[in-house]
Copies of this chain bind each other. A is one copy, B any other.
Amino acid sequence: MSFLRILEMLGVAVFAISGALAAGRKSLDLVGVVITATVTAIGGGTLRDVLLDRHPVFWIADTANLWVIFAAALGTVIYSRRWPPPARSLAVADALGLALFTISGAQIAQAAGLGGVVVVIMGTLTGVAGGVIRDVLTAEIPMIMRRGPIYATACIAGAALYLLLEMVIPRDVAAVVGMACIAALRLAAILWELTIPVFTLGEPRNRER
């Protein structure tokens, strides 16, 4: 089993947990929990595979991903009934999934022979899309669109760092450093409210309809 596949499977598991926790916040029923966990866990990789024309998409090619998701979702429900999860558990699961998926997505785009800017975009998209779909389906404003601690920025920085390092150090080491960068940036951003400047459109010169 390759390093890349292990990364992806781990990402699937933590995103499934983050999806199940988000569903618990919304008091969904058990099938809703499994659906939210599944969509969060496979959304990014599915979009990546469809855009890159990689068929069969990863969870059809390897249904072990689905069983991991079901187990992670049910495990989260059972665990949470006994021990309420610590605060920020959703944020931590989400940050880890972001890190794992962004780098695995970047590596897959790289393997498809794509250039730097597309590799960074595909990595970021693989990382954020599952959470975006989860937020849209549960009628939340997607995290990438909220003002607040940096989110997609961490993915972009980590994917770019990975691409740079990968030219001078072994690929798997560069991948681990890139992932650590993403998770650390995202968690630091939440702890210390790291943000980047906001663009607010001034009053238009005439009244806007």
Contacts and interface: CB of A to CB of B under 8 A. Distances in A.
Interface string A96-129: 0000000000000000001101100100000000
A28 B200 CA distance: 7
A145 B32 contact: yes
Given A35-B144, A117-B66, A138-B145, A198 B90 contact: no
Contacts of A196: 29-31
A91 interface: yes
Copy number of this protein in the oligomer?
Answer: 3
Interface string A55-99: 111011001001100000000010011001111111100000000
Contacts of A32: 144-145, 147, 152, 199
B55 A53 contact: yes
A150 interface: yes
A63 B26 CA distance: 40
Interface in A120-173: 121, 132, 136-139, 141-142, 144-145, 147, 150, 152-153, 156
B138 A29 contact: no
A114 B60 contact: yes
A23 interface: yes
Given A137-B142, A145-B36, A25 B206 contact: no
Contacts of A152: 31-32, 35
A31 B120 CA distance: 14
A52 B20 CA distance: 26
Contacts of A57: 51
Contacts of A114: 60
B60 A29 contact: no
Given A199-B28, A199-B33, A88 B209 contact: yes
Nearest to A191: B209
A150 to B, nearest CB: 7
A201 interface: yes
A83 to B, nearest CB: 8
A118 B60 contact: yes
